[in-house]
A and B are shown apart, each in its own frame.
Chain A
Amino acid sequence: MIVIDLILRLAFWLLLAPLLPGIINKVKAWVAGRRGPPVLQLYYDLAKLWRRGVVLSNLASPAFIAGPAIGWMALTLAAMLMPLGPAGSALSFRGDVLLLIYLLALARFCTAWAAMETGSAFEGMGAAREVSYAVLAEAAIIAAVLSLSVQTGSVSLATMLSPSAGAGAVLLAAGLFVVLLAENCRVPFDDPNTHLELTMIHEAMVLDHSGPPLAAILHGASIKLLLFSALLVQAVFPMGDLEPLAAAGTLAAGVLLVTLAVGLVESLLARLAFRHVPLLLTTAFLLCLFALLVAWKGGAQ
């Protein structure tokens, strides 16, 4: 029974995740008046990459392939920890939210490490930006987690994600949305479509990857997007009282809504100049901090 549950969960996360970037691209195309690539494009890309050969830089060590693998698996395990509405998560214990945050950090470390393997200044640039902005993003995430923890009094994801609606939820939603954009390298932090290495963060880091490792990276990125979307939806909409089917529907609808919002933001906003990025991230941190203070006041009453 547990095994079947685990397999279903893995299937959900692994198979459904690549849908999200497709939806985002479709929204962007629709706003721009184009037809755009098919929604299932990432699946085709992953299948193609999986069959391709790999070109390794002369300077790269075996860690160049181990890095994407470790990052991919870390994100998958983090997905196992994330509850899906009333269905819960594969694994839940007190303090699992911290394991989730640090698994994301592990994935980031491995991506940066693999990026520096090639000895190219572009990857170095991307890695430097990624790890620097992550400092502010971590502060925002931990403030969001603190506010959820203060609201519910628990440190476990399963019980933490049952919020109360109100001003705190709006602030938290805004803060977590900006963090989602930052961590998943979306406009206004990073443009996934840009071809200029000097302007990239995530794209620059994966410049030299090819074949199955690149497939692992892309798939991992889509899992991360689904993870953050699920977190955002469950942190803001109270789903605890609904029946299982209704809750599942609400979760799906919420994730879809978040994806649409990301697509719209990508279409309507331009990428920020790099010197403004810390300001936006600090704003996200302050939003989560104010959500924390609202939760504190709410509890004190």
Chain B
Amino acid sequence: MTPGQLLLIAFGSLAISIAIGFRMSRTWLILTLIGTISGLGAALRVLLLGENWAWENGFREHAFRLGGESLHLRLDGLSALFLVLVSVVGGAGAIYSREYWSDHHYPSSAPRGRAWWSVLLLSMGLLLMISNGLHFLIAWEIFAISGYFLIMLDNQRAAVRSAGWLYLAASHAGTMCLFAFFAALAANTGSWELGPMRDHPELAPLFWLALFGFGMKAGFFPLHIWLPSAHANAPSHVSAIMSGVAIKMGLYGIVRFSGWLPVPAAAGWVVITLGAISALLGITFAFAQNDFKRLLAYCSVENMGIIMIGVGGALLAVSHGDAPWGQLAIAGALLHVWNHGAFKSLLFFGAGSVLHATGTKDMSRLGGLWRAMPWTAGLFTLGALAVSGLPPLNGFISEWLVYLGLFDAVTSKASFAWVAMPAVIMLAMAGALAAASFAKAGAMIFLGAPRTKPAARAHECGIGMRGPMVALACVCAAIGLMPVLFWPAVSRAVGSWYPAWSALEMPVPLFTLGKVHVLLAIVLSFVAWGLWRKARANGLRRGMTWDCGYAAPTARMQYTSASFAGIVSGWFRWALQPERQTRKPHGYFPSTAMRLERIPETVLERIIGPISVLVMKVSTGVRSLQHGRLQFYILYIVVGLVALGIFVVLGGAP
């Protein structure tokens, strides 16, 4: 079947599933899966066989026009790469939501959730294929609004409502820039059609508008202010698709338009700098969080930073003579799009499973869940290894490619090495912090002893939630162990971004790296199993943990998440600005004490908050001019006329 037919099936089944999502959940699931699988098939055909697909208003006599513009859809390598991600995570999330947000537990919001899920998938798919500025904006709005409704599924809670409102406000701030961007583009080129336009150098300054507008959705620092609260308060399957896929739509915009339009010379520098800062600060914020979903959300900021570093490196290479290392950088960034989508969704599904079982998002109230939830624990650990970029999983492969690109940039000793060197150092620090954050998250949630009663009463999730997690874990393992299989798809996407690089070959070390990963995986499993056998053979005994002679240890004496992150939080106090409340014990005998620490969303609460308070004060002051007294309004007119008269008398032109 041709890509066109597959896309038509996908469109049709998703459109129908929107309508029936309210009633029949099983049929909805089947239709959504059909839609996502067809979309995946179409995208894979384009990626693997190299036949780009385009469609432009098939029916000549009855040309369908939307908003005065004829429809123009296009699926090339880059769109197909993102479409694969949308399909895989969309399908997995649909299966997950059936058990996680079931009709039984959420009778009023589950049907809504199903319908909006299909709308989200449909709008994201269309967004990737639309090749007309006006229609892009329409699809973008629908996509943003469906995200809002999905975040607000559980709108009984005040935190969810304020998170949704913040998301909507931030999204529309970005959309405003996008309106300006597309309008300026249409005004300059004379039509709303989008396509490769590199021969119009006057379009270069529009890149900044696109960076801001799409960046607001992509969620890199400092435009990430909506991301932590939105992803932490949304239902977990919604958080998974928002973190794994929706923010990639912002990235798609940046990558697509930096490929089609000429970019200013400073673009590469700015993008790399923003990426490096996002990576380091994002993961620092993640490390300091106590709420595991907020930790995952900030980790998404870090990973978007890593992707932006790759994109920035590629832009630098393009602007300095098409150096081939730029291909490595952008390939690493695009592969990281897939990798992050896979492991972040896996982690959010695991987080959802924990939330479903214990009812709390606070890591310091959990602990010891590995006994009751072995599958979730194992899969979350796999996700944690992947997100920390540790071999032999997929996170390492994409970070390795980005590193190689940056190292080549440094060794080429050009001027941009001065931005590549700090980027490498910050990336390394971010990697170490990521490993630390996920060691903390996994350890606090799954290891040790349960710290509170809800944690002690946890239960494992069912097959409906486990299945998608296992599938995503297999994807992570597959990309990690066999990266050469995925290289042709990535290089096709790179080629459609920058045609001059479509002929470059796969870096040979990737093949070696894949082999090393396979070897590592085999050796690690073998030795772990062997050591376990040896330990049992020698004699295995269970005993109490060493407690230094303390007579009555409790589970509350374990390290909490805030204490684990305490050292690094102290170093980054200037950025994190923690708020502390302490109540020390009085007197000579043991009494209760308390210490609460809260890390605010610093950019929002310490920078944008005070600025908006100032703006409100000034506006309220100005509002006192509107007092309702007619005479003063007339006085304003007279003052104006008198001023005009004086102006004329003093010699200005009347």
Contacts and interface: CB of A to CB of B under 8 A. Distances in A.
Chains A and B touch each other in the complex, with CB atoms below 8 Å apart: yes
B520 A150 contact: no
Given A56-B540, A62-B532, A132-B568, A155 B512 contact: no
Contact of B541 (A54, A74, A96): A54
Interface string B502-529: 0000011100110010011001100110
Contact of A102 (B391, B424, B542): B391
A70 B523 CA distance: 9
Nearest to B559: A124
Contacts of B544: 57-58
A248 B325 CA distance: 36
Contact of A59 (B368, B417, B516): B368
B532 A66 contact: yes
A95 B406 CA distance: 11
A73 interface: yes
A116 interface: yes
A279 B326 CA distance: 36
A117 B370 CA distance: 10
Contacts of B538: 51-54, 211-212
B608 interface: no
A25 interface: no
B234 to A, nearest CB: 29
A182 interface: no
Interface string A146-188: 1001100111000000000000000000000000000000000
Nearest to A106: B390
Contacts of A292: 421
B448 interface: yes
Interface residues of B, number: 79
B190 interface: no
A56 B541 contact: yes
Interface in B419-456: 421, 424-425, 428-429, 431-433, 435-436, 438-440, 442-444, 447-449
A129 interface: yes
Interface residues of A, number: 81
A127 B558 CA distance: 12
Contacts of B439: 109, 112-113, 116, 127, 131
Given A65-B535, A66-B532, A292-B421, A102 B548 contact: no
Given A54-B535, A207-B546, A124 B520 contact: no
Contacts of B421: 146, 292
Interface in B365-415: 367-368, 370-371, 377, 381, 385, 388-391, 396, 400, 403-404, 407-408, 410-411, 413
A59 B546 CA distance: 11
Contacts of B428: 101, 138-139, 141-142
Contact of B443 (A93, A112, A153): A112
A108 B520 CA distance: 16
A120 B532 contact: no
B624 interface: no
A93 B413 contact: no
Given A95-B404, A101-B428, A139-B425, A149 B411 contact: yes
Contacts of A112: 436, 439, 443
Nearest to A109: B435
B512 A77 contact: no
B383 to A, nearest CB: 13
A85 interface: no
Given A120-B547, A135-B436, A99 B535 contact: no
B509 A127 contact: no
B564 interface: yes
Centre residue among A51, A66, A95, A134 by max chain B CB count within 10 A: A95
A102 B431 contact: yes
Contacts of B519: 77
B58 interface: no
A278 interface: yes
A94 to B, nearest CB: 4
B403 A95 contact: yes
Nearest to A141: B428
Given A55-B541, A77-B520, A124-B558, A99 B425 contact: no
Q: Is the contact region of chain A dominated by helix, strand, or loop, or is it mixed? A: helix
Nearest to A103: B391
A135 B432 contact: yes
B546 A69 contact: no
B541 A73 contact: no
B447 A119 contact: yes
B561 to A, nearest CB: 10
Contacts of A197: 548
Given A52-B538, A155-B407, A138 B449 contact: no
Interface in A39-80: 50-59, 61-63, 65-66, 68-70, 72-74, 77
B555 interface: yes
A91 B545 contact: no
Contacts of B377: 61
Centre residue among A52, A54, A96 by max chain B CB count within 10 A: A54
A128 B531 contact: no
A141 B424 CA distance: 11
B541 A118 contact: no
Contacts of B610: none
A113 B545 contact: no
Interface in A2-40: none
A102 B432 contact: no
Contacts of A211: 535, 538
13 contacts: A54-B539, A69-B532, A74-B524, A94-B404, A109-B435, A118-B546, A119-B449, A120-B547, A128-B563, A132-B436, A150-B411, A155-B408, A213-B531
Interface of B: 367-368, 370-371, 377, 381, 385, 388-391, 396, 400, 403-404, 407-408, 410-411, 413, 417, 421, 424-425, 428-429, 431-433, 435-436, 438-440, 442-444, 447-449, 507-509, 512-513, 516, 519-520, 523-524, 527-528, 530-532, 534-535, 538-548, 555, 557-559, 563-568, 571
Given A54-B538, A119-B545, A146-B421, 13 more contacts: A51-B538, A69-B528, A99-B513, A105-B388, A112-B436, A116-B559, A119-B449, A119-B558, A128-B564, A128-B565, A128-B567, A131-B440, A138-B432
Interface of A: 50-59, 61-63, 65-66, 68-70, 72-74, 77, 91, 93-96, 98-99, 101-103, 105-106, 108-109, 112-113, 116-125, 127-129, 131-139, 141-143, 146, 149-150, 153-155, 197, 207-208, 211-213, 216, 278, 292, 296, 299-300
